[in-house]
């Protein structure tokens, strides 16, 4: 699965205005379908979803590239709410 370290390094090249208080994506941490979870983990370009050895799901909205892949894959299931970050917050592409 995703090499977490590499992706976080890559995200470090980007500019982010973080929303200190709110996550723009809400995730059901107790979601039962492991296959569904694995698919989302595999798909997220920013490797923000992960699972530890105990099977606990982690999601970190910091570093989100706001593409919407997790929304398309799993809105209403693993992803309980998806929106773009509040205006002016989130990733800011200098190049794009």
User: In the 8-state DSSP scheme, what is residue 87?
Assistant: T
- Measured CA to CA, the distance from residue 34 to residue 11 in angstroms comes to 27
Residue from 27, 37, 78, 85 touching another protein (CB under 8 A): that is 85
Contact letters for another protein, residues 38-67 (x by CB under 8 A)? -x-xxxxxxx--x-xx----x-x-xx-xxx
Asked whether position 3 contacts another protein by CB under 8 A, the answer is: yes
Least separation in angstroms between residue 32's CB and another protein is 19
Asked whether position 26 contacts another protein by CB under 8 A, the answer is: no
CB-nearer residue toward another protein: 28 or 75: 75
- Residue 31: both structure tokens together: 């979601």
- Residue 21: both structure tokens together: 């208080």
Which residue is listed with tokens 């209403």?
A: 76
Nearest C-alpha neighbor of 19 from the set 57, 62, 49, 52 = 62
Nearest C-alpha neighbor of 66 from the set 78, 77, 82 = 82
Binding-site ranges for another protein (CB under 8 A): 1-15, 17-18, 39, 41-47, 50, 52-53, 58, 60, 62-63, 65-69, 71-73, 75, 83-88, 90-96
């Amino acid at each position: 699965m995703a090499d977490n370290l590499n992706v976080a390094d890559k995200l470090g090249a980007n500019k982010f205005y973080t929303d200190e208080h709110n996550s723009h994506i809400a995730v059901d941490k107790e979601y039962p379908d492991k296959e569904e979870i694995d698919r989302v983990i595999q798909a997220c370009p920013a490797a923000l979803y992960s699972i530890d050895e105990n099977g606990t799901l982690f999601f970190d909205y910091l570093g989100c590239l706001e593409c919407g892949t997790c929304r398309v894959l799993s809105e209403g299931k693993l992803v309980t709410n998806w929106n773009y970050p509040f205006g002016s917050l989130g990733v800011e592409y200098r190049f794009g």
